[in-house]
Amino acid sequence: HFRRHHVNSLHTDIISRQLPSEGLSFQLWPAATTLFSLLDTHLLHPHLPCHHILHRRRLRILELGSGTGLVGITAAAILGADVTVTDLPHVIPNLEFNVLANAEIIAAGGGAVVATELSWGNVDQMKVVGKEYDVILGSDVVYHDHLYEVLLDTLKYFLVGEEVVFLMAHLKRWKKEAAFFKKAKKFFDVDVIHRDTPSDGKRVGVIVYRFVGKQISKKKLENGV
C-alpha cells in the first residue's frame, strides 16, 4: 500500500510503497519517521550539532538499511544532496520503485538518489559503494544482536575523513542493545542530539545519536576546534 508523507518545508508529499507482508524492511518504523521530521524541520533547529554539516553544498549521504527509502529520498529532496540508499538484495526493487515514484520531487530539490545493494560487513560491496560521504544515516538499524559486529565493521569502514558523521535514530526495545552501544563507544564518540517525547504511554521515545570516529575527535580537540 502507498503512504503520503507531507514535507512542510517543500509544500509537497513524498510517496512510499510499503509491503508489510514482505517483511520488516518493507514497512516504516518509528525511527525513520523521526529522521524524516528532523530533516523537514532542520532549519528550525540551528542548535543541533549536525546543523552546520547539513548546510554544506554539495552533500554526499549514505543511508544504511534504507528499507522503504523515505529518509534518503527526503534528504535528497530537502538538502539537494547526492544520496546512496542501500539494503539487502531482496529490498532493492521496492527501494528503486520508491526512488522513481519521487523522481520529480528529488530533481526539483536538486538532489539525486541511487539505490544499491549493501550487506553490512561485505567489504567488496562497501568498496563499490565508495567512501566519499559527509553523512551516514541509519534508522532502527540496531535490532538483531547477531548483526552488531557487522554493523560496527561497516561504520568503521565509512566513518573516515575529517568530519564524517553517522546520525542514527533508534527506538530502544531490548536490554541487549546496550551491548551495541558499549562496543560502539570503543571506536566512536557517541552523543545524543535529539530525543522524541515518548508516545502512547511508552517509557522512551526515539533518540537520535551522533557517532564520530574517536581519532577525528581527538585531533579536533588538539587543534582547539
Over range 8-25, report the average pLDDT: 78
**Residues 103-122 as b or e (16 or more Cβ within 10 Å = b):** eebbeebebbbebbbbebee
Task: Report the pLDDT value the prediction gives residue 187, as an integer from 0 to 100.
Answer: 93
Which pTM value belongs to this model?
Answer: 0.88
Closest to 106 (Cα-Cα) out of 4, 10, 5: 10
pLDDT at 33: 87
Delineate the domains of the chain, giving CATH numbers in brackets. 2-222 (3.40.50.150)
**String of b and e for 22-51 (b: at least 16 CB within 10 Å)?**
eeebbbbbbbbbbbbbbbbebeeeeebebe
- Is 147 in contact with 196 (CB distance < 8 Å)? no
Q: Torsion angle of alpha carbons 105, 85, 52, 163, nearest 10°?
A: -160
Beta bridge partners of 212: 189
pLDDT at position 221 over 60:
no
Q: Which of 19-28, 41-50, 99-108, 133-142 has the lowest mean pLDDT?
A: 19-28
Identify the pLDDT of residue 42.
Answer: 76
CB 33 within 8 A of CB 6: no
- pLDDT at residue 54 is higher than 70: no
Q: What's the grid cell of residue 208? A: 537520535
Starting at the edge strand found earlier in the chain, the sheet holding 207-213 runs 112-117, 82-87, 60-64, 135-139, 165-170, 207-213, 188-195
User: Is there a contact between 113 and 81 (Cβ–Cβ < 8 Å)?
Assistant: no
Question: SS3 for 166?
Answer: strand
Residue 128 has pLDDT above 70, yes or no: yes
In sequence order, the 6+-apart residues with CB closer than 8 A to the CB of 15 are 2, 3, 4, 5, 98, 101, 102
Hey, which bits of 70-175 come out as E strands?
82-87, 112-117, 135-139, 165-170
pLDDT by residue (tens digit) across 152-164? 999 999 998 667 9
Q: Which residues pair with 114 in a beta bridge?
A: 84
